[in-house]
A = this chain, B = another copy of it.
């Protein structure tokens, strides 16, 4: 293994010079710099991560914690993880993947050991177990999702309330008066992850303002469940002409069932989904949808955590905590249309 000392000898300079060439923390004359860089290349030198971390007490690693509840939509998680990893690299950081199995201890362990010098938490619950730690740890942390008490926390999420309102606005514009929400699995609400409630709240709020009627029913993704939910909806509110779906798994079954029941989309029923763009575009009927901006969320989380990391040590209020709710965007596709005139 080639060390910095060897590079220094090879280039005929001191160790510190090599170090500074690498970090750019002090000005180096062009000739020396080039000589050093050449030596680095020729010797195939890679700075040792452990030594660097020890000497600088910065590991250049961001911990990404994702407690993987079975009912979460994996592709979105995955997209976020990828965006986090990609963006982290742009800041010369790597990403350590932590799952939920160890519980809050995992976070304690990685920051306590200095393995990670920042962390990003996914799948945040309203009363998340990790929050106490996040609040006391000196390392910067960003949550993807919104707990109930956000004091002193930096969070990133889609603005789900606005999302709910946006869906209603769109349907209202098309003349729909009775709408239904096919929600997430009951487990999601019980776990109180927040985002599902927030969407429904937004829907209810705007619907009230516009004098529309809303029926909300939870629904796990299975075909049977969707069939049941749909049956109940049309049973209780036969006039329902607009549906908002928030559970990706329920989408294809829903379209399939509507078709079977002879309800044409969008002629008889309009459907708005809250899901990744990719899903919306690939379904049997292209879906009017509000995108879940997984990439942006991942990227933003890293940017925020890095900003706070950069300012770390400069006192407590270097960069103030901040709640960043991404504005929803609705894309009109083929699944929504004017409400049926006859009612």
Contacts and interface: CB of A to CB of B under 8 A. Distances in A.
Contact of A97 (B77, B97, B221): B97
A73 to B, nearest CB: 9
A81 B109 contact: no
Given A74-B79, A252-B253, 13 more contacts: A48-B114, A50-B50, A50-B114, A51-B54, A53-B53, A81-B81, A81-B97, A85-B97, A94-B115, A95-B97, A96-B97, A256-B256, A259-B260
Contact of A78 (B44, B46, B74, B110): B74
Contacts of A252: 252-253, 256
List 5 A-B pairs, minimum CB-CB distance, nearest first. Answer: A50-B53, A46-B112, A50-B54, A49-B115, A49-B113
A158 B81 CA distance: 25
Given A52-B50, A78-B77, A253 B97 contact: no
A134 to B, nearest CB: 17
A311 to B, nearest CB: 20
A82 B89 CA distance: 21
Contacts of A86: 99, 101
A86 to B, nearest CB: 6
A244 interface: no
A109 B46 contact: yes
B284 A256 contact: yes
B94 A110 contact: yes
Interface of A: 1, 44, 46-54, 57, 59, 61, 64, 68, 74-75, 77-79, 81-82, 85-86, 89, 94-99, 101-102, 108-110, 112-115, 221-223, 249, 252-253, 255-256, 259-260, 282-284
Contacts of A1: 114
A284 B227 CA distance: 10
A44 B81 CA distance: 31
A284 B223 contact: yes
A282 B54 contact: no
25 contacts: A1-B114, A46-B114, A47-B113, A48-B54, A48-B113, A49-B50, A49-B59, A49-B114, A49-B115, A50-B54, A50-B57, A50-B114, A53-B53, A61-B96, A64-B97, A68-B82, A74-B78, A75-B75, A85-B98, A86-B99, A89-B99, A89-B102, A94-B96, A96-B97, A223-B282
Contacts of A98: 85, 94
A256 B115 CA distance: 49
Q: Which of A78, A101, A109 has the most chain B CB atoms closer than 10 A to its own CB?
A: A78
A133 B9 CA distance: 27
A113 B50 CA distance: 8
A274 to B, nearest CB: 18
A249 B282 contact: yes
